Amino acid sequence: MRDMLNGAAAAALLFGVLQATGAMAASSGEMLFWRKAQESGAVSDYREYLRRFPAGDFAALARDRIEGGVDTLERQASPSTPEDEEALDLDPAMRAAVQDGLTQRGFTIGASTGEFDTATRNAIRGWQAQNDLPSTGFISAEQYDEITTAPLSGSIPIDEPMTARIDSSTSEAERAAREARLDYGVAELREIEGRLARAGFDPGPIDGVIDPTTRGAIAAYRQARGFAVNGYLDRPVIDALVRETKG
């Protein structure tokens, strides 16, 4: 066959074959498309990654790369469904964190009870409409991260860390496991170190190795931006760091 396939098409072909044979887990599929985009550096490949994984672990980085290569980002905003929200398996503390986030963004809910009542559903719809998302009243994984991420210092008053309630019962081993699930390689970690430095937090050498100095920079960033204080990475922290250090 002499027709040339670009990086995204080749990845799609391989993904389809492996998916049909059950030979690849979803996380492996996401890594396939991310690595293809990383290797090619093509905006089209980053768009293809976002189309397939709009709430993926590298979504914030992919959007930043796209915005650096084109004038506007065409958002792939699919309506979030009850099934999307059910898949998150939100416990009462996580639901209360959503309610806290909506309240701090100016939506009237009342007490953060950990139950999504009519007022909470209406607030979710209002937040979705404000952010040009389909107003379904149900949240996706990406929307959960956006709502529960502590606002950057100075943008909205922070009474307490947005993620403290969730993180307070998390052991160090669980935090380490959550960071490991991000599956960031040396290139991604080097970029994160560079962004920490640009934000004013010294991670030590920009080498893609998380050493004690890097852990200290992560902890200092989390504390300064209103997150629960520890030296580990998670998606809300990465998303906040990427937004703060665009360009």
Residue with tokens 């010294």: 202
Mean pLDDT over 147-165 rounds to: 44
In order, the DSSP letters of 125-176 are HHHHHHTT----S---HHHHHHHHSPPPTTTS--SS-TTHHHHTT--HHHHH
pLDDT in tens, 76-96: 457 889 998 888 888 887 888
Confidence at residue 36, expressed as pLDDT on a 0 to 100 scale: 73
pLDDT in tens, 18-33: 343 333 333 566 777 7
Least confident of 166-175, 195-204, 237-246: 166-175
More confident residue, 89 or 4: 89
What is the SS3 assignment for 48?
A: helix
Residue ranges per domain, the chain?
A: 7-69, 82-148, 172-239
What dotted CATH number matches 172-239?
A: 1.10.101
Say what the pTM is. 0.44
More confident residue, 128 or 33: 128
Mean pLDDT over 107-128 rounds to: 91
